[in-house]
Amino acid sequence: MQQEWTNWSGSLRFTPGSTETPSDEEELAQLVCRAASDGRTVRAAGAGHSSSPLVQTEDILVSMERFRGVEHHDPGAREVTVKSGMMLREANRAFLDLGLALENLGDVDLQSLVGAIGTGTHGTGRRFHILSHHLIGGRLVNGRGEIVEFPMERDSEFVLAARVALGALGIFTALRLRLVPAFRLHRREWCAHIEDCLADLDRLIEENRNFDFYWYPRSDEAKLRTLNFPEEDQKTTIPYARCVKEMSGWSGEVIPRQRELRFDEIEFFFPAEAGPRCFREVRKRVKARHRKSVGWRVLYRTIAADNAYLSGAHSRDSVTISLHQNNTLPYDEYFRDIEHIFRDYGGRPHWGKKHYLKAGDLRPLYPMWDRFLELRQRMDPEGVFLNPYLSELLGCGRTAPLHA
């Protein structure tokens, strides 16, 4: 009997028709080829840390857990090709062994690298991009079951689409990344009143390599997090804040943290200049309508503009605001209400988190939306990699009749 699949927060559950764990590219290619000729669908799953139903399927679910390890390393170019099933933590360690690192990381490292790339996962820091920015090529199995290589040198356009692909262009088997030299950071966490933090926000963002803050609606307190190169961090001062924790280490050791309590989350990307106003409006609404039911925090981060077609930060330096809700409590009414504000500020949703937007809402937000869809159609003409959620999200359906 098939086992039920559950995401990290427990808000998504489904039972796939079958779960496949191919051991190499050829086996995966044959699997997709068979699925295509039988009119079936295939979704690839990473670590299940997304809370939008991207991987949901009643048909074939593919796990890439057997695709592990470094395939190729070019020290001069700081390039590494890894097999696509590597977890982020495992990848960080492998990169460090080669003296390399991703320039930035998000809050945890328990996702797969390919899943993080697939949804535009990001950390914070106004000079740093989403993780996908490192992707400069790789290989995938397309909807016809063909193995396709897509080096940046030959097909830079496809790489820009592949950087945030939602699992809709094919199943990646290898990822080629250009990395940066490994580096150490000094991390500090501070407590302050939210008004003091907001009054000083520009300086905090400007002067720290990485800065973000959590606002706690019930107390109006904020937790500030700063990360800087250890030798430069001596000058960091926040006179109105109390430093409550600090540590130093390699970037992969100090940026991600453990998350003991499970939560659901909605997060949107905004033009950087709109961030503070949007946050103030969210804060006002949370206090007016949701404070009784919301004990959790609101997170504010910054990201540099990039050119990946479906990146939340496409062509604009961005701020992200995310709402967390304990996974044992209802989130729907809260998230829907605040999403109205997010949309008023031109917000683009994080693809791996909750949101309520559909193709018609999304298309005007992404200048390269149509081009992404053309490439998707080229890679997967029969919609082998579509599920009902993706069809609605992207506004495209299967062109072949479904398997009876």
Ligand X SMILES: Cc1cc2nc3c(=O)[nH]c(=O)nc-3n(C[C@H](O)[C@H](O)[C@H](O)COP(=O)(O)OP(=O)(O)OC[C@H]3O[C@@H](n4cnc5c(N)ncnc54)[C@H](O)[C@@H]3O)c2cc1C
133 is written with which tokens? 């920015």
Instruction: Give CA torsion, residues 191, 194, 198, 204, to 10 deg.
Output: 10
C-alpha to C-alpha distances, 120 to 128, 163, 300, nearest whole angstrom:
13, 8, 17
CB 118 within 8 A of CB 166: yes
Q: Provide, rounded to whole angstroms, the least separation between the CB of residue 330 and ligand X.
A: 18
CB 295 within 8 A of CB 215: no
- When binding is defined by CB under 6 A, the residue of 12, 42, 45, 394 that contacts ligand X is 45
- When binding is defined by CB under 6 A, the residue of 119, 132, 142, 228 that contacts ligand X is 119
Using the rule CB under 6 A, is 91 a contact of ligand X?
Answer: no
Task: For residue 166, give the nearest of 379, 395, 399, 394 by alpha carbon.
Answer: 394
Using the rule CB under 6 A, is 47 a contact of ligand X?
Answer: yes
125 is written with which tokens? 């820091």
Instruction: Give how many residues touch ligand X by CB under 6 A.
Output: 32
Distance CA 336, CA 319 (A): 20
Q: Would you give the binding string for ligand X spanning residues 49-68, x where CB under 6 A is met? A: xx---xx--------x----
196 is written with which tokens? 């003091």
35-44: burial string, b at 16+ Cβ within 10 Å, e else: bbeebbbbbb
Q: How many CB atoms lie within 10 A of CB 172?
A: 25
DSSP, res 289: I
Site for ligand X in 230-289 (CB under 6 A): 259
Using the rule CB under 6 A, is 167 a contact of ligand X?
Answer: yes
Considering beta carbons, is residue 54 or 222 the nearer one to ligand X? 54
Using the rule CB under 6 A, is 48 a contact of ligand X?
Answer: yes
Distance CA 332, CA 276 (A): 24
- β-pairing, 5-6 vs 13-14, is antiparallel
Q: Provide, rounded to whole angstroms, the least separation between the CB of residue 101 and ligand X.
A: 16
Task: For residue 274, give the nearest of 307, 315, 302 by alpha carbon.
Answer: 302
- When binding is defined by CB under 6 A, the residue of 22, 29, 32, 43 that contacts ligand X is 43
Site for ligand X in 99-118 (CB under 6 A): 106-108, 111-112, 114-116, 118
- When binding is defined by CB under 6 A, the residue of 86, 162, 166, 255 that contacts ligand X is 166
Q: Provide, rounded to whole angstroms, the least separation between the CB of residue 259 and ligand X.
A: 4
DSSP, res 99: T
Considering beta carbons, is residue 171 or 197 the nearer one to ligand X? 171
Site for ligand X in 321-380 (CB under 6 A): 350, 352
Per CB under 6 A, which region of 47-55, 144-152, 243-251, 392-400 contacts ligand X? 47-55
User: Please, how many CA atoms are within 13 Å of residue 84, restricted to the half-sphere of its CB?
Assistant: 30
CB 396 within 8 A of CB 360: no
Task: For residue 175, give the nearest of 277, 331, 46 by alpha carbon.
Answer: 46
Considering beta carbons, is residue 188 or 354 the nearer one to ligand X? 354
- When binding is defined by CB under 6 A, the residue of 46, 125, 138, 349 that contacts ligand X is 46
- When binding is defined by CB under 6 A, the residue of 171, 185, 255, 375 that contacts ligand X is 171
Per CB under 6 A, which region of 42-50, 176-184, 206-214, 220-228 contacts ligand X? 42-50
Q: Provide, rounded to whole angstroms, the least separation between the CB of residue 208 and ligand X.
A: 17
The residue number with the shortest CB distance to ligand X is 115
In the complex, the residues that contact ligand X under the rule CB under 6 A are: 8, 43-50, 54-55, 64, 84, 106-108, 111-112, 114-116, 118-119, 121-122, 166-167, 171-172, 259, 350, 352
